[in-house]
């Protein structure tokens, strides 16, 4: 893969950009403190603003790594305030595979925003980073996450039983993938 670090991406409605330390309050207020948003994630809802500040400080430090890809999702009509998160959460260099994870504040659910962000990230990872496979997974009790993947052209590849965990405990994982040659 041709790593170039997290680059600013734009769509019709969105800017995907690097986090800055000043994003902590928006992260905390818009999604990270919401137990409904984090219900099927692998990290608990943030109990305080200080937790969000610490997480963002760590993310900002990681931008020095050219193989680190992590974006704040910003709705252009909202100014520069992040409303969600999308990132490469796993990578296997030997097969040019990246695994994407995402979440967005409940206020912005069911508006096509996450699909728009995922599509932009998929395009970037295939066209610029030269990934060969992009994958993602979701808990089957969270079917809307799978709908985002399908909308972006990812293909359902199967469900691995009791193969994952999240804030609900041990869970099944529905896998979706897309190969560069399938676009």
Query: Mapping DSSP to helix (H, G, I), strand (E, B) and coil, where does residue 58 land?
Result: helix
> For the domain 9-136, what is the CATH code?
3.40.630.30
DSSP letter at 44 equals P
Rounded Cα distance between 70 and 16, Å, is 9
Rounded Cα distance between 96 and 2, Å, is 10
Rounded Cα distance between 119 and 75, Å, is 15
What are the domain boundaries of the chain? 9-136
pLDDT in tens, the chain (183 residues): 999 999 999 999 999 999 999 999 999 999 999 999 999 999 999 999 999 999 999 999 999 999 999 999 999 999 999 999 999 999 999 999 999 999 999 999 999 999 999 999 999 999 999 999 999 999 999 999 999 999 999 999 999 999 999 999 999 999 999 999 998
């Amino acid at each position: 893969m041709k790593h170039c670090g997290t680059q600013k991406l734009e769509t019709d409605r969105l800017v995907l950009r690097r986090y800055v330390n000043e994003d902590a309050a928006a992260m905390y207020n818009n999604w990270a403190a919401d137990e409904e948003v984090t219900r099927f994630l692998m990290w608990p809802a943030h109990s305080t603003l200080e937790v969000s500040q610490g997480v963002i400080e760590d993310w900002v430090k990681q931008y020095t790594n050219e193989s680190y890809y992590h974006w704040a999702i910003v709705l252009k009509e909202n100014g520069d305030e992040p409303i969600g998160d999308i990132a490469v959460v796993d990578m296997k260099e030997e097969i040019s595979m990246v695994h994407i994870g995402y979440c967005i504040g409940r206020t912005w659910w069911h508006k096509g925003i996450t699909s728009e962000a995922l599509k932009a990230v998929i395009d970037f990872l295939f066209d610029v980073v030269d990934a060969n496979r992009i994958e993602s997974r979701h808990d089957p009790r969270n079917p809307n996450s799978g709908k985002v993947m399908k909308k972006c052209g990812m293909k359902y590849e199967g469900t691995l039983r009791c193969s994952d965990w999240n804030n609900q405990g041990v869970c099944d994982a529905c896998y979706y993938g897309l190969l560069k040659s399938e676009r």
